[in-house]
A and B are shown apart, each in its own frame.
Chain A
Amino acid sequence: MESMLHITTLHYLVLGAALFLLGVIGVLTRRNVVVVLMSIELILNAVNLNLVAFSHYWQGMPARLGGGPLALHGQVFAIFVITDAAAEAAVGLGILIAFFRNKETVNIDEVNLLKW
């Protein structure tokens, strides 16, 4: 019973994979750019989840192998990714607004000016 409640790294990874898959499907299938951007956020957060999960797992390892409570690289890296995601959302939305002013649409399949 207790073993049933114990959340292992594998759980995190499965959850991350599910989120990543959701994100990819969203990016590939949704026409609305806003939704695509949101899906990208999902992908990034799936990656963050993996990073944090592995880092947590690594904290449980003996110090002589580089583990221990201070092995926080994964968490720190996740903070950077969150920052990066915020910046990316800002730029993406900026481009989207500029695009909307020209085309009066936010559909990604209509973004084809550079097509031959």
Chain B
Amino acid sequence: MFFLNHIWLIPLLPAFGATIMFFFGRKLQKATVSAVCVGTIVLAFLMACGAVWQYSAWSSTQEHFHQPYQTILYTWLGTDTGHMNYASHGGSPALFQADAGFLLDPLSSIWLLFVTGVGMLIHIYSTGYMAHEGGYYRFFGYLNLFMFSMLTLILANNYVLMFVGWEGVGLCSYLLIGFYFHRKSATDAGNKAFIVNRIGDAGFLLGMFFIAWYFGSLRFTDVTAAARSGHFAIGDPFITAATLLLFVGACGKSAQLPLYVWLPDAMEGPTPVSALIHAATMVTAGVYMVARSNALFVLAPTSMKTVAIVGALTAIFAASIGLVQNDIKRVLAYSTVSQLGYMFLALGVGAFSASVFHVFTHAFFKALLFLGAGAVIHSMSGEQDMRNMGDLAHRIPITYRTMLVATLAIAGIPPFAGFFSKDEILWQTWTKETDAYRILWFIGYATALMTAFYMFRLIYLTFFGKPRMSHEVEHHIHECPHSMAVPLLVLALFSLSAGWLSWPPSLGGSARFEKFLAPVFAKEAQVFQEEGKAAQLAAGEKEAEHTSPTEYLLMFLSVGAAAVGWGMARRSYNNADKGYSEPIAVAAPPVYNLLLNKYYVDEGYDYVFTGRRKLGNVRLGVLGLGEASSWVDSHVIDAAVNDVGWITRLTATISSWWDKWIIDGIGVNGPAILARMLSYPARLFEWGLVQWYALVMTAGLVGFVFYYVYH
């Protein structure tokens, strides 16, 4: 039980590496930096494997059967003696409390394995890719810090600690997008990612507060147990609100409509970063969070519908933009957004394990695609525009072959990984949705067609056709070093085989992946059946377990879509020479321009939200708010301040006049003047001659005597 008991070491190892880089990295040799930073991740990966292995043994014992493993180091936030007591919904006292605690269950096991595994491969790849770059230690320090944050996010046993990791990965994402900080576009992209993510994070925080208030706890185990206790009605408005807010957070982190805009720009970062953070791991954090909160989401059908619709729309929206992009990394970025849309579609229809499965397979093939793209860019001396590539297949064969594997996987060609996960999602969408919502399946299906098209377009433009690069560049084309090739090969292996973990029963498999996740999601199906559309769902469940002709038909259709996309791309781009024509541009130029300009969403946001562009004479958005605030400040607040000042001065003048003339003049000096005037006659008697006084005294005495004698 060593690995399980010391699970907290897994995130701490990369934190250790990051600390070393922070304090000493500048002075270290590149070899030392690589040894420390890659070493921590390799150790973390090995420990993760050990922990998952021990967990599966532990959770199959009689007493801990299918239970999550939880270890709490200490109470980190809000102690028993603290001041954060508050009354939860229903009046019972609760603590806004968070542990430094770690939770390992099948869901976090999967994330733990692929994050450390893919992370390790990308670290190794980076030692080759970044070998000639400045800031080597900085890059690896950030990568290690990212791994620490991501592992904290995954292993946290409560929402608050998860949020710490969530913000940590956001920070590292910002730092790594802006890694080439001397390039303004890179720092702008970093800012954009950070700011857009703030919007989502605000949603996450609010959702978290809702949960704390409503359930009186922030621990996943407590919240899940409470949600499944049956005390809460389906469609409970507070749970709906909380889940919708959590989903806003997921939209930010996982680049869903309308907060996806940062992810394509995030490609400004080094390519390994795009592979690790913006394709394989961080952007799936939103999926993880929703899956982690599945017990809440199933109580909120409105939220589920929202998730499904947003996911489906994002999938087709991003895929359509990806059809015409020319930057190799941007195609992959939009592909990532689109695939994330698939994952949310699956979450939204209640196919949680299908979604997690797609996250799992996607991590391998999308990381591979990005790393392959990095290898292409590396060999092309930094060229990213596919219009200037072509005919690379036999010049960089390892890169070509591994990328082809990944492309087959993402396009959904059996038996590659993507086929199993994507097909599962489409099948679940078909069975779990009814009536008009079946359109979600059509959207997913259309997206699959587009995916195959744009991915094979990428392959043909890059590796086939006529060479379109300059002679200078052509001369330097070289295959990547071993440190980059080995991760490509390993990822290619997984892109091929990862899907076999969940070989569907209809094809004679046993869906082991789904069964492994069953303890996390088991009760969902039951709740869904209670919801009222039971008959259809029950039938769907039944069909899912047994085989049905529909499933084979859908499977055939999606493979057909992939093949059609492949064929169309091959016909259009196989012989692409300089100045080749885009089929969409030929068929419908306005549509092409719309897609090439990404539906003008960034421009629209500039008009409406940032206010960088003016709408006529009016400036909206944040800058508009700033201008309006400035106007209010100078015209209203300052005017009020000045008026108050003017009034003060006026009253001061009056007061001064009053003081000078009334108080001092009449009140103080008046009596004095009066006294002086009255004193003039009085002092005439006092002329200062002693003998005069004596005479008066004598006269007075004589007067008294006479008065008394003769009276």
Contact = CB atoms under 8 A, between A and B. Distances in A.
Interface of A: 24, 27-29, 31, 36, 108-109, 111-112, 114-116
Contacts of A109: 689-691
Contacts of A116: 683, 686, 688
Given A27-B694, A109-B689, A112-B688, 16 more contacts: A24-B698, A27-B691, A28-B691, A28-B694, A28-B695, A28-B698, A29-B691, A108-B689, A108-B691, A109-B690, A112-B689, A115-B686, A115-B688, A116-B683, A116-B686, A116-B688
Contacts of B687: 115
Chain B CB count within 10 A is highest, among A36, A111, A112, A116, for A116
Contacts of A29: 691
Nearest to A27: B694
Contacts of B683: 116
A36 B690 CA distance: 11
Contacts of A108: 689-691
A48 to B, nearest CB: 19
A36 B694 CA distance: 11
A108 B689 CA distance: 8
B463 to A, nearest CB: 121
B690 A111 contact: yes
Contacts of B698: 24, 28
Mostly, the B contact residues are helix
Interface string B655-699: 000000000000000000000000000010011111100110010
12 contacts: A27-B691, A28-B695, A29-B691, A31-B691, A36-B691, A108-B690, A108-B691, A109-B690, A111-B690, A114-B688, A115-B688, A116-B686
Nearest to B686: A116
Interface in B235-269: none
Instruction: Enumerate the 7 nearest inter-chain pairs by beta-carbon distance, A residue then B residue, closest first.
Output: A115-B688, A112-B688, A116-B683, A28-B695, A28-B691, A108-B690, A109-B689
Contacts of A27: 691, 694
Nearest to A111: B690
Contacts of A115: 686-688
Contacts of A24: 698
Nearest to B698: A24
Nearest to A108: B690
B409 to A, nearest CB: 118
B687 to A, nearest CB: 7
A114 B691 CA distance: 15
Chain B CB count within 10 A is highest, among A24, A27, A28, A109, for A28
Interface of B: 683, 686-691, 694-695, 698
Contacts of A114: 688
A29 B694 CA distance: 10
Nearest to B702: A24
Contacts of A112: 688-689
A81 B694 CA distance: 21
B219 to A, nearest CB: 95
B701 to A, nearest CB: 10
A105 to B, nearest CB: 14
B5 to A, nearest CB: 104
Chain A CB count within 10 A is highest, among B683, B686, B688, for B688
Contacts of A111: 690
B699 to A, nearest CB: 10
A94 B541 CA distance: 133
A63 B578 CA distance: 165
Nearest to B682: A116
A114 B683 CA distance: 12
A29 B689 CA distance: 11
A116 B690 CA distance: 14
Nearest to B695: A28
A112 B689 CA distance: 7
A114 B688 CA distance: 7
Nearest to B683: A116
Contacts of A31: 691
Nearest to A115: B688
A111 B695 CA distance: 16
B685 to A, nearest CB: 10
Contacts of B695: 28
A43 to B, nearest CB: 11
Nearest to A109: B689
A15 B469 CA distance: 155
A114 B689 CA distance: 10
A115 B690 CA distance: 10
A28 B691 CA distance: 5
A57 B493 CA distance: 157
B136 to A, nearest CB: 100
Contacts of B694: 27-28
Nearest to A33: B690
A5 to B, nearest CB: 32
A112 B690 CA distance: 8
B690 to A, nearest CB: 5
Contacts of B691: 27-29, 31, 36, 108-109
A46 B691 CA distance: 20
A29 B698 CA distance: 13
A74 to B, nearest CB: 21
B440 to A, nearest CB: 112
Contacts of B690: 108-109, 111
Nearest to B691: A28
A28 B699 CA distance: 11
Nearest to B687: A115
A87 B129 CA distance: 123
A57 to B, nearest CB: 21
A115 B683 CA distance: 9
